[in-house]
Amino acid sequence: MKIMLDTNVIISALIFGGRAGKLLELLFDSEHELYVSEYVDKEFLEKLRIKWPDKAEKVYNFYHTLDIRFCESAKESIENTLRDKKDVQVLCDALYYQIDVILTGDKDFLEAKLDKPLIYSPGMMYDYLSSE
């Protein structure tokens, strides 16, 4: 399964650990492919520099050593009714790379009722992987 990570999941996993961190460990030990788009990558670095400037570069460099497929963002946009317009680029990237699941804690995404890709919260994905 192709899984695209959203910024909030990466931050939760790498900064706070907890359930999101455990989920990432499970995903790295699985056959699933993890993707991060150029858009999410830039947003992650920006948030790190703003909120955790002292450790931003160290965390960012570490995350780039992980088994993640970093991909360019799609150049084309789509018409969509997502409430948060910043989410449109993430959705475009997921559609472009034929992603099966966007892993996010973003309520706008979770409530979007998209047919494809599936939208899972870290809790939903953890439960899914635990039942496999």
State yes or no: pLDDT of 14 exceeds 70. Answer: yes
Tokens describing residue 107 = 């309520």
ω into residue 117 within 30 of 0, thus cis? yes
Global pTM reads 0.88
d(CA 99, CA 70) in angstroms, rounded, equals 13
Summarised one tens digit per residue, pLDDT across range 79-90 is 666 566 677 788
d(CA 14, CA 33) in angstroms, rounded, equals 18
| DSSP secondary structure letter of residue 1 | -
pLDDT range class, residue 16, cuts 50, 70, 90: very high
Summarised one tens digit per residue, pLDDT across range 66-76 is 999 999 988 76
* 2-126 CATH: 3.40.50.1010
Q: What is the pLDDT of residue 90?
A: 87
Q: Where are the domains of the chain?
A: 2-126
Q: What is the pLDDT of residue 91?
A: 84
Lay out the sheet containing 118-120: strands in order across: 69-71, 33-37, 2-5, 101-103, 118-120
